[in-house]
Structure formats: C-alpha cells, structure tokens
Structure 1
Amino acid sequence: MILSKAIKIILSAIFVGLAASLSAQTIAIKPGEKWFGGAVNDAHSMPFTDGYKLNLYGDTRGNQASPLLVSTKGRFIWSEEPFKFTFDNGKLIISEIHAALVVDSSANNLQSAFKLAAKRYFPSKGKLPDTLLFAKPQYNTWIELVYNQNQKDIIKYAKAIIDNGFPPGVLMIDDNWADYYGRFDFRADRFRNAAAMVDSLHDMGFKVMLWVSPFVSPDTEVYRELLAKRVLLFDNGGNTGLTWDKADKPAIISWWNGYSSVLDFTNPQAKEWFTGRLNYMMKTYHLDGFKLDAGDADFYPASAVSYKKATPNEHSRLWGEIGLSFPLNEYRAMWKMGGEPLVERLRDKQHTWTDLQKLIPHITTAGLLGYQFTCPDMIGGGEFGSFIGKDKLDEQLIVRSAQCSALMPMMQFSVAPWRVLSQQNLSAVKKAVALRARYTPYILQLAKTSAQTGEPIVRSMEYQFPNQGLVDVKGQFMLGSKYLVAPVTTKDNSKIVYLPKGTWISDDGKKIKGPLKYNIMVAADRLPVFELIKN
C-alpha cells in the first residue's frame, strides 16, 4: 500500500514536469550570448538575431536539421521532437513543443555545450562511412547530364576525369536512370549493358553510387504491387481521425519531379522491400552504394496516414536509417541522425558568389548538429537552374569554390572543370585537388576520431577558440585543431584573416603572432592555410 502510494507520487511528479515542459517557455538571453542550431540551411543567419523564427515541425529547410540549439555561454536546448523557436527582444521563446524540453546550463562555452549534448543525445557510433569519400574527390554526373543519364556519356565523363589528370574516386550516377520511380532496373534505351558499364568504371578506379529516392510513380506495375502490400503512405481525405487499417486512398505527393506516391518506412515491410531492391541493384549491376535523395520532412504532409503514427520529421529520420545498411551512402535531407555513419551533403547551391559564401557557416553548423561526415555542395554549385541560359560560367567562382571545398571533409565535382575552364584556371583547380591530397591523412585521422568522439572535423572559429571575439567570423574555418583555412569567397582577391591567440605559420612560410586581423592579397591559385604551432 505504501509502495503503491509512493509510485503514484513519483508518476504524478513526472507528469506534472512533462506537462510544464510542453507549454511554451521563454528563456532570457544572457549578455553577449549567441545561439546556433536548428537547421543547417539557415546557418548563414547564425548566430541568430532578433526576428528569426523557425518551426522545425515538418520544416528542415531541405537539408540537415536537429531539435538542438547551442549557445556561446554553454547552454543547450534539446527535445526528442520538433519545436518552434523565436528570437524576440532579447528572449528565446520555445513553443509548439511536442515532447519534453531540456534546457541545460551546465557547460561554459559553445564547444563544451555541444560535447555534452552530443554525448547525451546523439553519441557517435564508432563507425565510418566508406573512407574513399574522404580520401579522393567525388564526381557526380548531375550538372553535365542532368536528366539524360546514359551509359555512353557516363563512361565519357569518367574517362575525361582520368584524361584530364584528376584522380578517380566515387562516381555518382544521378536521377533518371530508370524507366520510372520505384522501378529498380536500368532503362534499356539508355543503358545497353549497365553491369558492364559499372565494371568498366571499376577498372578505371572508381566506386559507383546510384541516385535513389523513396518515391514511386503512380499507375505503374510496381505502384500497384506496393499498394496491395499496403507499404505506401495513405491520405486521410480530410478525415483526421482515419486510422491506417481503414485507409485505402494512397497519398500523392508533390515534389520537384512531379507527383508520386511515397514509401511508408514506419512499416517494416516497406523497409524490407526497399533495402531488398537496393541489394538487388548491387548484386545485379555491381554497384557500391547509393545517393539517397529527397526524404525531406515536408514531403510527408499532415494528411498522410502511416502504418505507425509519426511526425513528418520522424518519416525523414526513418529514411535516414536506410543508409545505415550501406557504408557508401549520401544524403541531403536528414533529421536527428547525428553521430551516425551517414554522409550528408549541403543543400544545392546556386552558381553565385552569395551561395559560395554560405558553404563555411553551413558546414560548420552541420558539425554542431552532429553531422560530421558532410560534403559541401558540388563545386561551382549544384542547383542546375542557375546554370540555365549561361553560355559562359564564372571561371573564378569555380576555382574559388574548389579551393573552399579542398580542405573540407569531402569535395565533389559535377560540372566538368576541363570543359568550362581555361587552362590557367583548370591548373588552379587541379592545384587545389593536389593540396587536398597532402592533407588527406590528417582529414582521415580526424574522421576516425570523430567517429569515436563526435568532435567536428571542420569547426567554426568560436567553437575552437571560444570567447576571443570570433563568433561572427564566417569566412574561415578550422580543420581540426591544427589548421586555419581561409578561402577566398568573393570576387575580390583580397581576404581578411582573423588569427586567434597563438603562433601561426602561413602556407607561404610566414610566422605570425596572434591575435591579429589583417588583409592579404590572394593569388588566383592559392588557398590560404595557417598552421597553429603554439597556443
């Protein structure tokens, strides 16, 4: 009787605490405190300022996101479910909370707050994705072929990589290789012998990835099969109380390639079917892995009915789980999968200087959310619409983009440098690739360490050097704790470099004492790097 009463008191306290946490909370921002987190694709707006707001429920900004905010004063906010956050007049307001909210103030700076949150909520699993993704440049057929993926031109692209003096690495075959979405065989009109094609790519030294998505084209044989198996999402038809067992109308989702049904990965049979088809593709066509595109939370509308009830964000996370079976993987959209051996890529950037300037804040913020194995976007931009109508690309932009990517965890080409660049600018890009090769052992060591500790491979200046007035510096980053990388990301060849306290050696041999802010002129083929030799 006494024990029963005690249990009731404890349960009552738990429920009261939970109820309190689900109501909106207002957090006073401390003097000088700056906040980061939420969605990677908004990182150029960080640290957050008054007026910024985002509801993470169903909106991950088309890239990686996590229910985590971290501050320069050592505080972090976490919830297992998405929430809305608003910065307003010196206050951080958390609302529309769907699970218990944790507000932790036990750390003392951005780095220690991140480490504490990571250890507690998304610890690293001690596993790496395929290390070829770090060791060599990647090549994606998207910008060169767009929707005309075909055997002849893929082989031509691969041969051109070798012929122009670039090292083979991972080659990604992008969208429209199949007759329709959900069909897992190469289309015969464009691929005479896909297995032989992949074998040829292997002989050249490449590993081969294939673009896939969770979508299924309606009114097809595969669609009818999957509908009969009830492994697609259903639509509630306006009846919010409709349960899965009573649902019979498939959901048709609008996405960038039209309208499709989508697999319901809350249903174990959907995951079994999909991974089975991926394994079939690997066995039949000798593929090595997959680029798993889409899976964005906003492709799972509120009207969707699933086998198990799930938020749009949870559907996105379940899409992420698919990649755990394939060490050679790449994602663009992700939710709450920090610490896992999954490769992320920043959202497609336009062929503009403005978008080039977003790479550093975006990739360093990805690290703050636990996504350490992240690739910047395709060199020169991956948003193909920004290439349309341009007879001549900005060669300087492509060179500086290659330099910006060179000492990030990965670098990925798509537009062919040898096709669009002068010999002088092509040489500058190849010099950036050669520079990366010199640092590759260090990058691989950082990746291995990150798989154990969760520490970011690339770090913001505030993360590595807290409280030195560097919180707003977005044009440079630290590669581990040893190298400061300061790529040019403007059309002007000058660069303002902020050196923290310590003694540094520049890539041109100068010994410099920090802290120091100074302006340097940067040759077209140079990537400024500074090694910390003494704190």
Structure 2
Amino acid sequence: MGQAGGRWKVGTVLFILVVCCVIIGIVVWQTTKTKNKTPDQQSSAGQQTQSSQSFNLGILNISTKDLSLRVRKQENYVLVGQLGIGEQSGSFENCSDNYGGDSICLVWKNDTRLHIQRKREQETECFTITWEVLTCVDHVLQDCFEVGKAHWYGGYEDWYQYWPFEKTTRNLSAYITNDSYQKGIGGVQERYFFSTQGVVIYVEEDVPLYLSFNASADGNICLVSKYEKYPFQNAQKKLPQLKYHVCVDQNVKTIHEYASKRFIQRPTGIPDPKLFRYPIWSTWAQYHKDINQSIVLDYAKNILDYGFPHSQIEIDDDWTPKYGDMDFNTAKFPDPKEMINELTDLGFRVTVWLHPFFNIDSQAFTEAKTNKYLIRQLDSEIPALVSWWDGDAAGILDTSNEEAIEWYLNKTDYLRQTYNISSFKFDAGETAWLPNAYSSANSLDVPNIYTKKWAELAYRSDPDIRHQEVRVGFKSQNLPIFVRMLDKDTNWDYTNGLKTLIPTALTLEYSFSIVPWQFDEETINITRNFLELHENYTDLIIDLANQSTTTGAPIIRPLWWIDPEDEDAQVIDSEFLLGDTILVAPILDDGARQRDIYLPKGKWMDMLYNNVTDGPQWLTGYPADLHELPYFKIVT
C-alpha cells in the first residue's frame, strides 16, 4: 500500500544537495513565429542569449529582463504579472524544436523550466503556463499577478466572505480545505479565479498550491508551488511544478461560461426536489446536544401545530452512545424504531448527523483500527489520533481506502434497514482535520482528495433520492447533492454574519434551527409568509437546477449575469438574481426599513408596489417593512 510521508535515505539527500549546489542550467527560450516578432527577438535552437528580449505569443507578451508578463485585449492590458519570482534571468537557449509551434520555453541556471503553450478556441485565447523543477524537491516556484482595476470572483468559502473577491486579504496559505471557523481557506473551494476583464486563472489540482491575495496590501494574487512536511507531504519525492491556465474572452460572463465548461464538471442530476421546496428542520441550534426521544417528537409536533412545511427533520449532534458508533444511544432514545415510525406517520423523513471521526472509547474505533480503516501514524500501523470539537483523541476515516468506505457505507445501510433512517447530514470532511504527518492506504499527496472522497462517500449513501447534505466541496460539482454553508453567526456584518449570506450562496437548500415559535406571533407569521413566497417559486428553482446540468449556469446569479459590462452590477453583494428573470434585494442592515436598490438593464416589475421601472438605475431609499421582501420580475 502507498504511504503519505516517508524518510530520505542519506545517500539520496547528499546526492540531491550536491546536484542542487553545482548544476549549471541552460536558459531556453522558445516562441512561435508570429507576425509580432522582430528579427532581434529570434534565436536559433541551442544559441545562448544574454540580451533582454521581448517575446509575443498571440496576445501574451513576456520580457526576459524581469520575467514580466502582459496579456492584452485589443489595446488594453487585462492581466499583468511577474513570473518566476526568485528565479534568475539571463542567458538562455531557444528550444523551439522541442515543443513545436505556439509555445515559449525557458530553462534557468538553477534548473527550472518554463513552458507556455497557446491554444485558441473561437473567441477565447488560452495559455497553459507550466513551471518545472528538474532536480531539487525543495525548490519554490512563485508567480504573481496584479489585481489591478478589475473585479475578481471565485476561490473559496470564507469566514469574511467579500464580493467581489479583491476585497479579501489573505497571507500566503496552503490551498487546502479548512474549517472556516478557524479563519482558514474554507471547506468549499476551487482553484478558479476570474475577473471582469474577461480573464480566468485555473490551477491544476496536483499542484502543491499556496495562495496569497492582497497580502500586506500589495495588490497581488500570488500562486506558489512547494512541498513541505505538511500539508503537501510528497511521499513519492516528486519534483515541484506550477501549472495553471490563463484564458481571455470578451467579458466576465463569457469567460466564466467557457472556463466552467472546460475545467468544472457538470452536475449529473439534481438533488431531491422536495429539498428545494421545503425547509430542513435541524435540532442543533435549538437544542444543541440536549436531545432525546421525547424532545424530537415534540419538536416535530410543534412544526405541524404551527403550520410550517418541512422536507425532513434532522437529528443532529449526540444521538449515539459514543462518537463514531453509528447507532442510537438507548439512554436518550429508548425506542428509536417507534420514534421514527411515529415521525414517519406524521409525514416526516428522518435524517441523522454523521462525521468521519471515531473517538477512542467507541466500539467502532476498535473495529476500524483492527481493519486499518483509519488514517495512520507516519510509517506505522497505529492510528493517528486527532482532536476535533467533540473529542481530544479520535481516529479519522481513511477515505483513500475503498474498503474503509464500504465499511462506513455498510453502517449507513444498517441505519436505513434497522430504523428507517431516510438520509444523512455529513459533517466535517476538511483536509485540515488530518494530522500533520500520517500514512494512508493510498497516496494523499494531493490532500484535498480527502475532501473529494468524503463528498463522494456522502453521495453513495443516498444515490437515488439524494436528500443528503455535505459541507465540503473540491472538484465535486458533478455530485447531485446539496452543499450547505457553514453555520452563520447572529450578526449583521461580514464576520460570518448576514451580509455574507448572499456572497456564499451556493444552493437554495436551507434549514431551520432556532424555531420561529420561540419568538412572538409577528415573527411566526412573517416566517410563514416568506416560506409561502419561496414555495411559489420552487418550480422555477427546480427548472433552473435542471438547466444547470447542461449549461452549468448557477441558480443564484450575480447581477452582472444579464449585463457583464455594467460596472455597478459587478460590485453589488446585497442583491442577487434567480435565473435571469427575478431580482431580489433584501434589507440586510440592523433596524433599517429602506435601502438603495440597483436595477440593471431591462424593464422590471416591482412586485411590492406593482409598477414597472426601466433599468439601469438606482432606486434610492426604497421602503420595505420587516414583513416585506423587495423583489422584481423582468418584463419581456
């Protein structure tokens, strides 16, 4: 079995150190024969060149003086960057014959090679930029690009979720899935960044990627490739490479449509339509761990007595005897079969909370340890213990081990067959829960594969009805399941509060935690009214979800989706589109009863005041009471 980690042999270490210290590199330039070349820019293969030169590759220009890169669209530069930070410029050879046309090649004294390959598809021009280290595994590769005047989108779920993305500040961080509560790069992420200049940057998944964004207010997005003991362990002693794609199209929408089709898988279907239509009712925020059989039954009866709809009821944290044992704690749930039968008779589907952790006092830990189903200590058969929010010493499921996944899924089947559990809420799954040094059944040199495998496990637990949920995502857009946002805090600002809700909207799946009947009658009535409003548009939402399986277009869309060149629409983070026809502008400020609303181009029917307004324009001081939601429909 493969292992993540490993030891250097002394001879190998000495050899590589000697090679890294004494090797003399040769710089190799390669460029296509374009009309933009002048004779002094060309050199034959094998010829060493010392002078500063500038090379053109379609709309891309690179200077050998400082390795600056510029990409232009018409007369404007849409991307400016600095390649090979820390590398040496100077003499090089042209090696055009090695790569054929439409490419640039360069090899440095410290034995790094740069290759840029051009590809054009209709109106889109793309460049695959690849740095390769030829000898030293400790070499660090770094390219940086100016944020500039463009607005940027994409990236990852964040505690401070700003829209557009350039409002974010992040020091150099490993690009792995983290718990957003730890202020790291979040658990839902893609190596995908695009701008209003019609530019996209997409980094390959096997790059040991570190990212900084506007660190120390430098105005740059930096991509760094390097192997370290954690999190990119490099058990196979691969040489680092930094490979990414830069593509340019007409505007932010056209480049997103092109790049998402090329780099991101389409969903293979949609989740259970009932989840689009009705809310999930969770026990967590209302009761935390203080749940038992009578509380769950009372909870369900109250939902019905107060006249609220439901898709399912979710039994959250602390329903098991020990964390990791996937069965009911009979001290709290003396007759779980009868409880679930009663809930089913009331019209509820019942889901339970699951996670990848096995506390050492659980029976499942012993079973998993015996069968090597857990992440292990480095070069050892002993499980590596981790701490998590419900335990200081726990094993964690090895998702690289197919036998471990089958064992886990068998336990979910037991819950279905024994108790009529309908589906599951899968918690955690972020790479950051792994120990700093470990071994696994198969290589996790790409740590985010752990997250991807956890999401795939979740899908496999309920592949037919598909009413499970996860909280993580990495290259798992093909899975037709709901991804829930990390729990939001009760505040009105950008510190994981209300104003981050629209920027982090990934789906329209939503759940109730604090129950409305904890408040006054007005709150109950407002909640009912908004649930009814949501239900009125569920058919549209489901239709948009089905469309996304072929078009890739999101259900919830930014305002620039219908007018990509509109500079106001490019920066608005407090409104959203439902498809192309409905604009929603909720009030997000504490105590406010009015707000400014921007309408992009088109004729918009005001659904509160029943009048038509032409866009683009601002509606200043638009009034809306607590029970009212400002929203507009496009008039065709």
2:165 aligns with 47
Match of 2:220 in 1: 91
Quote how far apart the aligned CAs of 1:53 are. 3.9
1:226 corresponds to 2:326: no
Corresponding residue for residue 142 of structure 2: 24
Residue in 2 aligned with 1:383? Answer: none
Cα-to-partner distance string for 1:281-304 (whole Å, 9 max, x where unaligned): 111111111100011121013312
Amino acid across the alignment from 1:504: W
Contact conserved, 2:195 with 2:252, CA < 8 A, in 1? yes
Asked if 1 retains the 8 angstrom alpha-carbon contact of 2:377 and 2:437, the reply is yes
After superposing the two structures, state which structure 1 stretch, 32-41 or 287-296, moved more. Answer: 32-41
1:268 aligns with 2:402: yes
* Conserved? CA contact 2:585–2:630, under 8 Å: yes
One-letter amino acid matched to 1:352: N
Q: Give the distance between the partners of 2:414 and 2:250, measured in 1 at CA.
A: 50
Q: Distance in 2 between matches of 1:10 and 1:200?
A: 69
Q: Cα offset for 1:471? A: 1.9
* Offset, 1:152: 1.0
Say whether residues 1:312 and 2:447 are aligned partners: yes
What is residue 545 of structure 2 aligned with on the other side? Answer: 447
Counting only pairs closer than 5 Å after superposition, residues 129-144 of structure 1 correspond to structure 2 as 129-144=271-286
1:65 aligns with 2:192: no
Residue-by-residue CA offset, 1:364-419 (whole Å, 9 max, x unaligned):
xx4xxxxxxx2xxxxxxxxxxxxxxxxxxxxxxxxxxxxxxxxxx2232111101x
Answering whether residue 601 of structure 2 is matched by residue 501 of structure 1, we say yes
Residue correspondence of structure 1 range 458-469 to structure 2 within 5 A: 458-469=556-567
Partners of 2:246 and 2:144 in 1: CA distance? 14
Cα distance in structure 1, aligned partners of 2:433 and 2:221: 29
1:505 touches 1:531 (CA, 8 Å); kept in 2? yes
1:295 equivalent to 2:429? Answer: yes
CA contact (8 A) 1:38 1:56 kept: no
| Deviation by residue 1:430-470 (Cα, 9 ceiling, x = unmatched) | 11011111111111111111133221100112334312122
Distance in 1 (CA, whole Å) between partners of 2:177 and 2:547 is 31
Identify if the C-alpha distance between structure 1 residues 51 and 44 changes in structure 2 by more than 3 Å, giving closer, same or farther: closer
Aligned to 1:256: 389
Deviates more, 1:307-316 or 1:133-142: 307-316
The aligned counterpart of 1:322 is: 457
Q: Which runs of 5+ in 1 are unaligned?
A: 1-7, 237-241, 367-373, 375-408
TM superposition shift of 1:517:
0.9
Alignment match, 2:573: 474
| Residue number among 149, 153, 157 corresponding to 1:36 in the alignment | 153
Contact 1:182 1:217 in 2 (8 A): yes
- Identity in percent: 27
Distance 1:118 1:339, change over 3 A: farther
Report the equivalent of 1:360: 502
Task: Work out whether residues 57 and 312 of structure 1, in 8 Å CA contact, stay in contact via their aligned partners in 2.
Answer: no
Structure 1 position 278 matched with structure 2 position 412: yes
Matching of residues 196-211 of structure 1 within 5 Å: 196-211=338-353
Please name the residue that 1:379 is paired with: none
In structure 2, list runs of 5 or more residues that go unmatched.
1-96, 107-112, 116-129, 134-139, 181-185, 227-239
The aligned amino acid for 1:530 is F
Q: Aligned pairs, how many?
A: 474
- Partner SS for 1:234: coil
Letter in 2 for 1:347: L
- Provide the secondary structure at the position in 2 that maps to 1:499: strand
CA offset digits 1:477-518 (Å, max 9, x no partner): 001111000111112111110001111001120111111112
- TM-aligned CA distance change 1:45 to 1:235, over 3 Å: farther
Q: Are the counterparts in 1 of residues 213 and 219 from structure 2 also a CA contact under 8 Å?
A: no
Deviation string 1:208-266 (CA, Å, 9 cap, x unpaired) is 21100000011433212211111101122xxxxx3xxxx12311111111221101010
Does the Cα contact within 8 Å between 2:141 and 2:241 map onto a contact in 1? no
Q: CA deviation at 1:140?
A: 0.8
Letter in 1 for 2:151: K
**What secondary structure, in the 3-state scheme, does the structure 1 residue paired with 2:523 have?**
helix
In structure 1, what is the Cα distance between the partners aligned to 2:163 and 2:605?
A: 31
Q: Do 1:495 and 1:520's aligned partners in 2 also have CA atoms closer than 8 Å?
A: yes
Q: Is the 8 A contact 2:177 2:187 kept in 1?
A: no
Higher strand share: 2
Relative to structure 1, is the Cα distance of residues 203 and 114 closer, same or farther in structure 2, using a 3 angstrom cutoff? farther
Instruction: Name the CA distance, whole Å, in 2 between partners of 1:117 and 1:83.
Output: 21
Matches within 5 A, 1:169-208: 169-208=311-350
- Equivalent residues of 1:300, 1:315 under 8 A apart: no
Name whichever of 513-522 and 81-90 sits farther off.
Answer: 81-90
Counterparts of 1:297-446 in structure 2, within 5 Å, are 297-310=431-444, 311-325=446-460, 326=462, 327-354=466-493, 355-363=497-505, 366=506, 374=507, 409-418=508-517, 420-446=518-544
Relative to the length of structure 1, the TM-score reads 0.83
User: 2:615 is matched with which residue: 506, 514, 535?
Assistant: 514
Following superposition, the deviation at residue 13 of structure 1 comes to: 7.8
Tell me by how many angstroms 1:74 deviates. Answer: 1.8
The 1-side partners of 2:321 and 2:371 are apart by 22
- CA 1:136 to 1:26, structure 2 compared with 1: closer, same or farther past 3 Å? same
